[in-house]
Amino acid sequence: MMSELALKVTGLAKHFGGIKAVDDIDFEVKKGEFVGLIGPNGCGKSTTFNTISGLLEKTSGEAEVFGNSTDGLAPHEIHSLGLTRTFQHTRLWKEMTVIENLIIPPRNQLGDNPLTAILHTLRPEHEKARLAKAWKILETLEITHIAHLLAGELSGGQSKLVDIGRALMGEPDLLLLDEPVAGVAGPLADSIFEHLRKLVNETGITILIIEHNMNFILRKGVDRVIVMNEGKVLMSGTPDEVRASEEVVKAYLGGDGEDHTLPEDDIESTPTLRMRNKRPFSMNRGIAGIALLLLSMFIPNLGWISTHGLLTGSSDFLDTFGAHIFDASMGDLWAGLHMVFLLLFALSQPIILYSLLRNSWRKTSLDDDAENLLLMSGLLIISGILLWLFNDTTSNELPFGAMMTMAAGAVMYLDYPPSKGGEEE
Ligand code: ADP
Ligand code: MG
């Protein structure tokens, strides 16, 4: 007979000396349910997870996972019943990339047996399957773009997502998450919740999630909420029922409707990720940039004409170019530099054009682009000024052409430097 319950906790208690951290609690979580476990700091939520997952020995009581007693089982044995838990403080390998953090199995799960370890090295397709699975999980959590970042570079919110991803690698049937959104900026916290909701709906996984901010979790579409206070279960019900309950309102809100117990806001600014941030890039920006570029191209002997001449070998650009090679061979250093800058100027235009087209097509731009274009435009200004100083007959209108081309480049990094926050999209 298959149990209808993913988790059944009966008379569970955990005492630390005189402290009754968990004090005789009962609750159940049905298969496929998304349940919140909430309560003020120190009320025993993490200790409940620690005793269920076998990390701490329980003082008394019973926890059943899919109908199996966990009595006397070690954490990895409870894990093999289908239960995976995450910790309040994420533990990632900081000097490894995100994808590596996912594909390397946690201790006590795989590779314990030297024979299986050897078999796995003999079977690279197993590795490939694991990589494909990791990638799929990153897709589900919408974080493929950070796959190759080092875990140590991630923001708090990103680390939490990677930690959840790692928990999903073992394909758990029951997932216990300990405050996966604590310290995560609001919009990302919302999106983590939406991903979890989607996961429950689509895969039938059961999730029990700890969150200490009641106001937050009651808005986030969990099926049911279990409320703890001082080691006891205060009540369990739908978010609406919990919100309506006087007992809970008293425990949390001190009876007068004011929020005394909860921190006002658990949102802390996440560190800014340098480079690789994606930001929206509109078609209008692309068109504006290209228009500016086109404008610069119609200036005689400059821009497009130079570029075009360079590519086809058909304009006086090459003559000028050739003349300067001749000058340089006469030992004229300035003429040699002049040639270099003319070349640079001619090359910058197709590069900027390419970036504008690509970003318009993808509708996103990257900080890398902004940095590169910043550099490109800087060189363009210098080459423009120098060419103008050389007072070459081909470069009389160069400062204007340079300015136009630079303006096109500037369209690329209108909102550079990266806005604070550093989260993607
Ligand atoms: P929560 O996760 O709800 O914030 P915890 O389960 O971490 O609360 O803690 C519940 C109580 O148990 C607190 O008073 C805490 O100080 C105590 N406690 C937790 N772990 C230990 C431990 N290993 N040793 C002694 N006391 C502990
Ligand atoms: Mg805790």
Q: Whose CA is nearest to atom 17 of ligand 1?
A: 21
How far apart, in Å, are the Cα atoms of 369 and each of 100, 277, 291, 406, 423?
A: 27, 10, 19, 14, 17
Residue 302 lies in a domain: yes
Q: Which of 206, 238, 253 is where one domain is finished? A: 253
Residues 176 and 124 in one domain: yes
What is the tens place of the pLDDT at every residue in 47-78?
999 999 999 999 999 999 999 999 999 999 99
Tell me, in angstroms, the distance from the centre of ligand 1 to residue 55's CA. Answer: 13
Tell me, in angstroms, the distance from the centre of ligand 2 to residue 180's CA. Answer: 11
Q: Is the CB of 89 under 6 A from ligand 1?
A: no
Q: Is the CB of 354 under 6 A from ligand 1?
A: no
Q: Whose CA is nearest to atom 19 of ligand 1?
A: 47
Residues 287 and 249 in one domain: no
How far apart, in Å, are the Cα atoms of 60 and each of 7, 191, 297, 354?
A: 17, 38, 81, 68
SS3 readout for 156-172: HHHHHHHHHHHHHHCCC
Mutate to test the pocket of ligand 1, among 15, 25, 43, 47 (most ligand atoms within 8 A of CB): 47
Residue 38 lies in a domain: yes
Which atom of ligand 1 is closest in space to residue 88's alpha carbon?
A: 2
Q: Which residue has the higher pLDDT, 44 or 120?
A: 44
Residues 72 and 211 in one domain: yes
Residue 421 lies in a domain: no
Residue 390's pLDDT band (boundaries 50, 70, 90)? low
Q: Is the CB of 43 under 6 A from ligand 1?
A: yes
Strand partners, 208: 35, 176
Tell me if residue 95 falls in helix, strand or coil: coil
Residues 211 and 351 in one domain: no
Which atom of ligand 1 is closest in space to residue 210's alpha carbon?
A: 2
Q: Which of 209, 236, 253 is where one domain is finished? A: 253
Please state which of the ranges 103-107, 257-261, 355-359, 409-413 shows the lowest mean pLDDT. 257-261
Residue 56 lies in a domain: yes
Q: Is the CB of 19 under 6 A from ligand 1?
A: yes
Which domain CATH number covers 87? Answer: 3.40.50.300
Residue 79 lies in a domain: yes
Residue 269 lies in a domain: no
Which atom of ligand 1 is closest in space to residue 17's alpha carbon?
A: 25
Residues 132 and 39 in one domain: yes
How far apart, in Å, are the Cα atoms of 313 and each of 168, 286, 347?
A: 58, 29, 14
Residues 287 and 233 in one domain: no
Q: Is the CB of 39 under 6 A from ligand 1?
A: yes
Domain span at residue 329? 278-412
Residue 263 lies in a domain: no
Ligand number nearest CA of 182 is 2
Per-residue pLDDT averaged across 150-159, rounded? 87
**pLDDT at residue 419 greater than cutoff 50:** no
Which atom of ligand 1 is closest in space to residue 45's alpha carbon?
A: 3
Q: Whose CA is nearest to atom 18 of ligand 1?
A: 21
Q: Give percent above pLDDT 70 in the chain.
A: 65
Per-residue pLDDT, 277: 55
Residue 58 lies in a domain: yes
Residues 99 and 235 in one domain: yes
Residue 120's pLDDT band (boundaries 50, 70, 90)? low
Residues 283 and 249 in one domain: no
Q: Which of 219, 253, 287 is where one domain is finished? A: 253
What is the tens place of the pLDDT at every residue in 168-227?
998 899 999 999 888 777 788 888 888 899 899 988 999 999 988 777 788 778 999 999
How far apart, in Å, are the Cα atoms of 182 and each of 156, 213, 405?
A: 9, 9, 46
Residues 207 and 145 in one domain: yes
Q: Closest Cα partner for 305 from 394, 239, 209?
A: 394
Q: Whose CA is nearest to atom 16 of ligand 1?
A: 42
Tell me, in angstroms, the distance from the centre of ligand 1 to residue 52's CA. Answer: 14
Tell me, in angstroms, the distance from the centre of ligand 2 to residue 49's CA. Answer: 9
What is the tens place of the pLDDT at every residue in 261-301?
333 333 333 333 333 456 677 788 888 888 877 776 665 54
Residues 313 and 375 in one domain: yes
User: How many domains does the chain fold into?
Assistant: 2
Q: Whose CA is nearest to atom 27 of ligand 1?
A: 16
Q: Is the CB of 231 under 6 A from ligand 1?
A: no
Q: Is the CB of 118 under 6 A from ligand 1?
A: no
Per-residue pLDDT, 107: 47
Residues 221 and 340 in one domain: no
Please state which of the ranges 12-21, 24-33, 340-349 shows the lowest mean pLDDT. 340-349
Residues 171 and 213 in one domain: yes
